[in-house]
Structure 1
Amino acid sequence: MRIAMNLHAPLQFGMLALGCAAGAAPLAAQVQDAAGEPPAPVITAVPPASEPQAKRESHFHDILFDDVDGKFDVSEALAEGGFTPVPIIITEPAVDGGFGLMAQFVTIPEDNPRLATRRIVGALKTGNGSYGVGYLQSGFIEDGKIRYRFGAAHGKITLTSYPRFLPGGLRYTNRYDFAVVGSARVVLGDGPWSVGPLIDFRQIRSKLDFEDPPIQLPFDFNRKLNTGAFGVGLHYDTRDNVMTPRNGLNAYVEAKYTTDFLGSDREFQGYKAHAYAFRSLDPKWHLGMKVEVDAERGDYPSYFAPAINLRGVQASRFQGASVVSSEFEVSHEIADRWSLVAFAGVGATDPGRSRVFGASGAKFAGGGGFRYRLARLIGLDAGLDLAYGPDGAVFYLQFGHAWASGMD
């Protein structure tokens, strides 16, 4: 699946497995006849000894095939909790693809399965030598009134930036000695609103893969940088399913302040305003739309600048002080478990006061794909997208919704 993460924070790869476990809970169904009563027992004769006995399905078969339609399904495997391995397949061209593996451990309270605790540990490596290892945990306290998430990671990532004076690109490597993030949100009443603080601490050693860098480059590279940030977020969520939503709205605004008071070597601010809306027109047709606005202000390193985030646009290809990414998606269920997806999007950047990046203008991308309902009981889809953007075609393996990395 594509890791559509903030490529400057290796910890984010753990969010993929978090989505895999979200909403998993033991589910059971009772079969009743048309009158609402349990069906009458059926008495069958014992076959003669000479006739072959029906083969009893193994426990392995029971947890990987749905007992309703008999098709491949991982609902029970996820719902049982415990240990679940999750492979990571990276198709992002900015890092030359890659592979990884996560192990998630799910603890589900019997009295309220919704308040599950998820612990995820994993590692990944990409084709251009980037790698990451990390741990992520999320859960609830105070009977679900407070949602928390924290994690730590170590890694190295090599990317290409495209400043206005180097249209061919500038390759650099950031080594994260550590990255530690965390958040806690208080649910307001019984409604969809929640609010709370967040923290972000990193130590980065950057290296510029350029013999004679232009003098226009800020003093961002070939040095160690410590950052410490504190922020707050306000969230709204009415999605019917956090895995592959069909209806509802997920929206939030966040402000994060990196300051010397928390040990940061430079002071700057980051802002996010994201909204993801979903609507079913009928049982077969579903619509989705996203709008993401990201901005950095102050003395931020150039590699912290946000970038257009669309299927078909290479990660970090178009950066600026302010970035808008919007995408529209329509899906149609063509058969049991199978759907076709079409999408199109546009994004743009504004350099602000930056001397490094220029205005991108409108950048368009779009494409199509298919989905398979991988876990019927928790509404999890997986599939493949083929997108075409400014630099050609890109394909993505999707696990959950394509916008999962941006949703909370």
Structure 2
Amino acid sequence: MKILKSNKSKCSLFLLLCISLSCFAATEPQEKPEKKEESLFIDEQDGDFDVSKFLASKQGFLPVPIIITGPTFGYGLGVNALFLHGSLQGKKSKNGHYIPPGLSGVVAAGTENGTRFAAAYHLGFYLDGDLRSTTFIGAPNANMDFGTKFGDVNLNFEGYAAYQELKYRVLNSQLFAGFNYTYMQVETKSTDGGEIVDDLFSRFGDNTYAGLAAVLEYDTRDSIFTPNKGVYAKGVIDFYNQDVGSDSNFVNYRLKAFYFKPVSEKFILGFRTEFQTISGEDKAPVFMTPSIVLRGISNSQYIGQSALVAEIEGRYEVAHRHWAVGFTGSGRAYGDYSSAGKTSFSDAKWHSSYGVGYRYELARKFKLLAGIDIAKSETDTAFYITVGSAWNAFY
């Protein structure tokens, strides 16, 4: 993969709306397309373009195009063949909790650097929404550049992965507790070669990584798409051990927290922090190594045994349905096998990025905004197509 050193591509509002339509409009024909099709995309309150009624009416098959940007894998395309078990609008439980619809799907994607990926998944909600299940199986063939003290090193990862998570609601609260199990059979190869690469990372070749994790998740956001208020927090302790099928023994600790606060009716502030660290007698595989994940920075550019990231984002409604976005963040990667060599937190360098963006309110009833972000760091300028929040709450 070639890290994007200068990417100054711009998207117009017209292009954004075309992309938005393509992402949501492809589905099975309606019984009365001549009248239903027109009304499904106009909001009855303001007469503007809106896909709330369309999304609320959808059941069954819904193909969604995937557009990949950013410096980690380069440009790419894919498709998510999604099947909805019920309406995308979801429903309320007996205790008043929102129950999302069950989802099943198949995903396939590829990028310009030769990365290919295919997967199948299922998200299930049972026992009146109190039990949540996530099932995933995938086959990646990924090419990634990793920053090291000797310069960038290109690696290829090919194999398959399976994942199962179960979480149960605690005492009718917004807290869920559970576990997940991950199993990966991955062949790791260096496309650059050299003994230096072997010394920096975990052993190459065909290896099995299996982990059993304890999970706590707390969520009071007013929307899973583009929140205006609330808290999301998730903590995971993942034990990779020979007793559960792994070739390597290590523990992966992950913690993330998002906080959204409406300063006024038109101005929303968001705060994000994430921390990851790995300990144990063996090194984790390099694709699992903690790294600085920020817009404008390749996900594998700054890695270490531990990584800490903080980010702030402001969103202001400059006109009805039109929002301007500004964001900045910084992070440190440190410890053994870091990009800067073995270093402590106090000695590690902060790496930062900043940027601006635009959002259009695509679905008022779902609080779904979509648009573009342009981000700059000390090494890259990159753009992203963003649907919903730019912060990942799904892993």
Which TM-score band applies after superposition, normalised by the shorter structure?
0.7 to 0.9
**1:94: Cα distance to partner?**
2.2
Report the Cα distance in structure 1 between the residues aligned to 2:148 and 2:319, rounded to whole angstroms: 47
TM-score (norm. length: structure 2): 0.84
Alpha-carbon contact 1:276-1:407 (below 8 Å) kept = no
CA pair 219-346 structure 1, distance change in 2 beyond 3 A: closer
Letter in 2 for 1:181: Y
Q: What is the aligned counterpart of 1:87 among 65, 83, 91?
A: 65
* Structure 2 residue runs without a partner (length 5+): 1-22, 25-32, 93-97
* Aligned match of 1:47: none
* Aligned match of 1:41: none
**1:335: Cα distance to partner?**
1.4
Report the Cα distance in structure 2 between the residues aligned to 1:376 and 1:383, rounded to whole angstroms: 15
Q: What is the aligned counterpart of 1:213 among 173, 192, 195?
A: 195
Secondary structure in structure 1 of the residue aligned to 2:37: helix
Report the Cα distance in structure 1 between the residues aligned to 2:208 and 2:297, rounded to whole angstroms: 30
* Aligned match of 1:155: 140
**Mapped pair 1:192 → 2:177:** no
Q: What is the aligned counterpart of 1:173 among 156, 161, 175?
A: 156
* Aligned match of 2:245: 263
Which piece of structure 1 moves more, 192-201 or 57-66? 57-66
**1:114: Cα distance to partner?**
2.6
* Aligned match of 1:380: 368
CA pair 354-396 structure 1, distance change in 2 beyond 3 A: closer
* Aligned match of 2:86: 108
Q: What is the aligned counterpart of 2:356 among 362, 368, 390?
A: 368
Secondary structure in structure 2 of the residue aligned to 1:92: coil
**1:361: Cα distance to partner?**
0.7
Report the Cα distance in structure 2 between the residues aligned to 1:406 and 1:115, rounded to whole angstroms: 15
* Aligned match of 2:3: none
* Aligned match of 1:223: 205
* Aligned match of 1:389: 377
Q: Deviation string for 1:318-356 (max 9, x for gaps)?
A: 000100111001110111211000001110011247698
* Aligned match of 2:77: 99
* Aligned match of 2:300: 316
Larger Rg over CA atoms: 1
CA pair 353-155 structure 1, distance change in 2 beyond 3 A: closer
Q: How many residues align structurally?
A: 351
CA pair 121-174 structure 1, distance change in 2 beyond 3 A: same
CA pair 221-72 structure 1, distance change in 2 beyond 3 A: farther
**1:219: Cα distance to partner?**
6.5
CA pair 371-301 structure 1, distance change in 2 beyond 3 A: same
Alpha-carbon contact 1:158-1:171 (below 8 Å) kept = yes
Report the Cα distance in structure 1 between the residues aligned to 2:327 and 2:365, rounded to whole angstroms: 26
Letter in 1 for 2:364: R
Q: Deviation string for 1:83-111 (max 9, x for gaps)?
A: 22211111122212111111211122787
TM alignment of 1:107-126, pairs within 5 A: 107-108=85-86, 112=92, 114-126=99-111
Alpha-carbon contact 1:137-1:150 (below 8 Å) kept = yes
Secondary structure in structure 1 of the residue aligned to 2:196: coil
Report the Cα distance in structure 2 between the residues aligned to 1:206 and 1:101, rounded to whole angstroms: 26
Which piece of structure 1 moves more, 215-224 or 262-271? 215-224
Report the Cα distance in structure 2 between the residues aligned to 1:219 and 1:281, rounded to whole angstroms: 45
CA pair 96-245 structure 1, distance change in 2 beyond 3 A: same
* Aligned match of 1:68: 45
Alpha-carbon contact 2:303-2:338 (below 8 Å) kept = no
TM alignment of 1:30-49, pairs within 5 A: none
CA pair 57-72 structure 1, distance change in 2 beyond 3 A: farther
Report the Cα distance in structure 2 between the residues aligned to 1:399 and 1:355, rounded to whole angstroms: 31
* Aligned match of 1:144: 129
**1:358: Cα distance to partner?**
4.3
Report the Cα distance in structure 2 between the residues aligned to 1:254 and 1:139, rounded to whole angstroms: 20
Report the Cα distance in structure 2 between the residues aligned to 1:355 and 1:361, rounded to whole angstroms: 10
* Aligned match of 1:39: none
TM alignment of 1:237-252, pairs within 5 A: 237-252=219-234
CA pair 354-115 structure 1, distance change in 2 beyond 3 A: closer
Which piece of structure 1 moves more, 316-325 or 137-146? 137-146
Report the Cα distance in structure 2 between the residues aligned to 1:252 and 1:159, rounded to whole angstroms: 27
**Mapped pair 1:279 → 2:261:** yes
CA pair 356-226 structure 1, distance change in 2 beyond 3 A: farther
Alpha-carbon contact 2:303-2:339 (below 8 Å) kept = no
CA pair 246-139 structure 1, distance change in 2 beyond 3 A: same
TM-score (norm. length: structure 1): 0.81
Letter in 1 for 2:332: A
Secondary structure in structure 2 of the residue aligned to 1:378: coil
Alpha-carbon contact 1:163-1:358 (below 8 Å) kept = no
Q: Deviation string for 1:133-167 (max 9, x for gaps)?
A: 11111121111111111111112000011222x12
* Aligned match of 1:37: none
Which piece of structure 1 moves more, 186-195 or 353-362? 353-362
* Aligned match of 2:326: 342
Q: Deviation string for 1:3-40 (max 9, x for gaps)?
A: xxxxxxxxxxxxxxxxx99xxxxxxxxxxxxxxxxxxx
Q: Deviation string for 1:215-242 (max 9, x for gaps)?
A: 7625735410111110111111111111
**Mapped pair 1:232 → 2:214:** yes
* Structure 1 residue runs without a partner (length 5+): 1-19, 22-55
Alpha-carbon contact 1:217-1:356 (below 8 Å) kept = no
Report the Cα distance in structure 2 between the residues aligned to 1:88 and 1:216, rounded to whole angstroms: 35
* Aligned match of 1:53: none
Letter in 2 for 1:63: L
